Amino acid sequence: MFIGGEWMNASGSQTRTITDPANGETLGTVPETTDQDVDLAVKAARRAFDDTNWGSTDNAATRAQLMRDLAAKLREVAPEFAKLDTQNCGKPLIEAEGDVADAANCLDFYAGLATSTMGQTASVPMNMQSMVLREPIGVAAQIVPWNYPLLMAVWKIAPALAAGCTVVIKPSELTPLTVLELAKLAQEVGLPAGVLNVVTGVGEVAGVALTNHPDIDKIAFTGGTDTGSKIMAAAAKGIKNVTLELGGKNPAIVFADANLNQAIEWIAFAGFANQGEVCSAGSRILVERSIYDQVVERVKIIAQNIKIGHGLAQDVRMGPVVSKEHYDKVMGYIQKAKEENCRLVCGGSHPAGAQFANGHFIEPTIFADVTPAHTLFREEVFGPVMSFTPFDTEEEAVRLANDTEYGLAAGVFTEHIGKAHRVVKQIKAGIIWVNCYHPTFNELPWGGYKKSGIGRELGKYGMEAYLETKQVNINLDQSELGWY
């Protein structure tokens, strides 16, 4: 763990072995954090916030410079970080390389915002000079999942540091390695002790201790919706500011007038990128009936030709899912879809071959003729499993798209500009792609409607999550009050 600028083991001296999901090989061991360790980390972050000038406005330029230095260091060692994320969570190297580049850019983006956060002045009645000041919230507890180990962490760390907060971050117990490596780089560039602390360990111990700690001011969480609900309950007890980035069951609508050659590839990418272990994965494909069979068939051909293997191998575009437990969960959804008579178009099994024997590999899987009554239409699988559903009218497409308790992302494929805008306006989701799927930019807000979360990350919206708002009224009038 990295606490108060020092590397330490857990007080209980327990450790956890971290393995490569493609072959079961050991990658390392990390401490299994206890309540006591979390307390140490929060105290270190508290001291760095309360007793140093880290968060003050006159330190903003220094914060920005440190973040730029961290981004530069990360770029220097980007290949090692990409390799480590691939080994730890299974994603293809080409995706991990993109994640590391995005993470470095995210640090640079928020370095820019560190020195450009501004309050406001306001015109009010009475002879007052009124203004609104923005100040860092304080100590941020950040909890992240395993599907983008480095990137999800940086989406949280970067705006928090830029705002002047101090951080205790807990990576997923499955994928802590690149966050620990990032802390090493932070130490190398001279980030002051206690500003960034990393605790490893399971959610039920380290995560619970962190979210229940009285000395934190903010909880930022990315993960499953059920966990999000528990986190919100913990935040409620302490009246803590909380932002939640949760799950999704995201639709992509393909109209008959779409550019099909373009749409087919984006749709496969929507569902199968990162093994489908993406909160915004386009896992419910809604297709206009006249082109339905053709679209299912063409996406099937892509699915059957996706190169599966260890993410480090050349040309691999799908690695294993993250763990045995998660493999069983995804396979359980496949089994259930079969039992509920969804039509299996391709995949559905562990791929055959000795090279897959020790890894948690699942074939790219497509089910067709899925209806809102099916479990596959409603529940987040978080694996390489796509469902296809036909529709007849624009109204029906929108109704099916919104027939979910989630509201993270959606895709719309059409060459009709009016239809695209009409549908975009009606879909209840925080992120919508038209004639593409998945491109994400540091400048734009990321987050969901409904059960997909509360608040936004990225862009200036992501910075808001770490800023308090203070009104100040200065009386310019010299007369006495005359009230009593």
Question: By CB under 6 A, is residue 359 in contact with ligand NAD?
Answer: no
Check: CB of residue 367 under 8 Å from CB of residue 376: yes
Check: CB of residue 299 under 8 Å from CB of residue 332: no
CA distances (Å), origin 313, targets 86, 87, 92, 97, 278? 10, 11, 8, 13, 21
x/- site string to ligand NAD, residues 155 to 194, per CB under 6 A?
---------------x-xx---------------------
**Choice from 207, 347, 407, 459 touching ligand NAD (CB under 6 A):** 207
Residue 147 CB, nearest approach to ligand NAD (Å): 5
Helix-strand-coil percent breakdown of the chain, rounded to 5? 40, 20, 35
**Choice from 4, 119, 224, 445 touching ligand NAD (CB under 6 A):** 224
Q: Which residues are known to be catalytic?
A: 245, 279
* Sole window of 78-86, 107-115, 204-212, 461-469 interacting with ligand NAD (rule: CB under 6 A): 204-212
d(CA 216, CA 160): 13
Question: By CB under 6 A, is residue 230 in contact with ligand NAD?
Answer: yes
x/- site string to ligand NAD, residues 264 to 283, per CB under 6 A?
---------------x----
**Choice from 136, 223, 347, 348 touching ligand NAD (CB under 6 A):** 223
Closer of 246 and 346 to ligand NAD (Cβ) = 246
d(CA 400, CA 413): 15
Angle at 179 between CA 176 and CA 181, to 5 degrees: 105
Question: By CB under 6 A, is residue 404 in contact with ligand NAD?
Answer: no
Between residue 446 and residue 475, which ones bind ligand NAD under the rule CB under 6 A? 448, 453
Question: By CB under 6 A, is residue 382 in contact with ligand NAD?
Answer: yes
Question: By CB under 6 A, is residue 149 in contact with ligand NAD?
Answer: no
Question: By CB under 6 A, is residue 146 in contact with ligand NAD?
Answer: yes
Task: Tell me which DSSP letter residue 437 carries.
Answer: -
Q: H/E element holding 346?
A: strand 343-346
Contacts of 94 (CB under 8 A, 6+ apart): 317
CA distances (Å), origin 412, targets 248, 293, 392, 409, 431? 16, 18, 15, 10, 11
Question: By CB under 6 A, is residue 333 in contact with ligand NAD?
Answer: no
Three-class SS of residue 173?
Answer: coil
Contact residues toward ligand NAD (CB under 6 A) are 143-147, 152, 170, 172-173, 202-204, 207-208, 211, 222-224, 227, 230-231, 245-248, 279, 380, 382, 408, 448, 453
